[in-house]
Amino acid sequence: MFWWVPDGATPTWRDGVARLEHLHDHGPAPHAFTFRHAFTPGATATSVTGAGARGERVR
């Protein structure tokens, strides 16, 4: 699970828990997302390319 953090900010474990719960309850969104359903810092849906992006197993 990922989310964008402003430069100089240090997220707390509470931030992580809240965003994980949001992801679980609502699915991927700019607030909290996964590699499979990623968002840019501007909240635009995007895709991640590279190893594993098409379902290949990364070792």
Q: What is the pLDDT of residues 14-59, one digit of tens each?
A: 999 999 999 999 999 999 999 999 999 999 999 887 655 555 554 4
The pLDDT assigned to 48 comes to: 81
**Residue 59 domain-assigned (yes or no):** no
Instruction: Give the tokens for residue 55.
Output: 């379902």
pTM of the model: 0.74
Residue-number span of the structural domain to which 44 is assigned: 1-54
Q: State how far Cα 38 lies from the chain centre.
A: 6
The pLDDT assigned to 49 comes to: 77
Number of domains in the chain: 1
**Residue 11 domain-assigned (yes or no):** yes
